[in-house]
């Protein structure tokens, strides 16, 4: 028992130490969140965002992913971001504050996207966690379902989708639906994602519907 406890606490200590590393690195690099490193890692592995692309960033605040995305898409690209919380402006990012679950917010985002198709849809959305899995998991799954619905409305053929999903009830079915819509789907757990978190990222490429 004692050994188990010590192992758990030393693992936690290591984790906090590790977390600090990313927090400090984010500050040093002028990134708004440690989450930015997750997108950087996905980008390194899967090369999602290229110069000139149009990117939608769902659950964008405080803006780490948008900072990374806008740099990669460059001046010829476009980043449209949304969060229920406010976000300080980022040059080159068209930000909409609103609850993505509301039809009027989706419509406002679609208006901003306009006629052109989107190359990459990103979703790092996560609901406020209550601590009860029975409440949190369905809320989280609802957000990822809505993000996938948006892909069907805006993604260009061969477009990409990177989405944070919490492992638990509904995960397998969701994975199945994503696989139906994309040629390749990979599950990624970036080093910068806390090991104790059940979050993983699905990186889906080659939109085919």
Site string for ligand SAM, 64-103 (x = CB under 6 A): xx----------------xxxx-------------xxx--
Question: Does 137 interact with ligand SAM (rule: CB under 6 A)?
Answer: no
- The span from the CA of 74 to the CA of 95, in Å, is 17
Point out the annotated binding site for S-adenosyl-L-methionine. 63, 65, 83, 99, 124
- The span from the CA of 188 to the CA of 191, in Å, is 9
Give the nearest distance from C-beta 96 to ligand SAM in angstroms: 9
Residue with tokens 């899967």: 46
Question: Does 161 interact with ligand SAM (rule: CB under 6 A)?
Answer: no
Question: Which DSSP state fits 59?
Answer: S
For residue 36, give the 3-state DSSP assignment.
helix
Residues in the chain: 209
Query: Which residue of the set 5, 50, 78, 164 is catalytic?
Result: 164
The helix (run of H) or strand (run of E) holding residue 198 is: none
Phi, psi of 62 (to 5 degrees): -80, -5
Point out the annotated binding site. 63, 65, 83, 99, 124
Closer to ligand SAM by CB, 1 or 146: give it. 146
Closer to ligand SAM by CB, 64 or 77: give it. 64
Instruction: Judge whether 164 counts as a catalytic residue.
Output: yes
Out of 72, 106, 121, 125, the residue judged to bind ligand SAM by CB under 6 A: 125
- The span from the CA of 117 to the CA of 81, in Å, is 15
Residue with tokens 């969701």: 174
Give the nearest distance from C-beta 12 to ligand SAM in angstroms: 21
DSSP 92-145: TEEEEES-TTSHHHHHHHHHHH-SSPEEEEEE---PPP-S-HHHHHHHHHHHHH
Give the nearest distance from C-beta 136 to ligand SAM in angstroms: 12
Closest CA to 118 of 71, 75, 152: 152
Closer to ligand SAM by CB, 58 or 178: give it. 58
Closer to ligand SAM by CB, 8 or 23: give it. 23
Choose the binding region for ligand SAM from 1-9, 16-24, 121-129, 152-160 (rule: CB under 6 A).
Answer: 121-129
- Please list the active-site residues: 164
Positions that interact with ligand SAM (CB under 6 A):
32-33, 35-36, 59-65, 82-85, 99-101, 124-127, 143
């Amino acid at each position: 028992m004692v050994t188990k406890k010590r192992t758990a606490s030393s693992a936690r200590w290591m984790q906090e130490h590790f977390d600090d590393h990313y927090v400090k690195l984010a500050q040093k690099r002028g990134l708004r969140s440690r989450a930015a490193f997750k997108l950087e890692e996905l980008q390194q592995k899967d090369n999602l965002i290229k110069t000139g692309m149009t990117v939608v960033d769902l659950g964008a605040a405080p803006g780490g992913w948008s900072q990374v995305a806008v740099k990669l898409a460059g001046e010829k690209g476009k980043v449209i971001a949304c969060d229920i919380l406010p976000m300080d402006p980022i040059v080159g990012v068209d930000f909409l504050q609103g609850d993505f679950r509301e039809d009027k917010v989706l419509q406002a985002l679609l208006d901003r996207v306009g006629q052109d198709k989107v190359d990459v849809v990103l979703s790092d959305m996560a609901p406020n966690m209550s601590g009860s899995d029975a409440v949190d998991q369905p809320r989280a799954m609802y957000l990822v379902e809505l993000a996938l619905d948006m892909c069907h409305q805006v993604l260009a053929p061969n477009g990409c989708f990177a989405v944070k999903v919490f492992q638990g009830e509904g995960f397998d079915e969701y994975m199945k639906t994503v696989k139906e819509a994309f040629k390749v789907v990979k599950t990624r757990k970036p080093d910068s994602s806390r090991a104790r978190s059940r979050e993983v990222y699905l990186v889906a490429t080659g939109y085919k519907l």
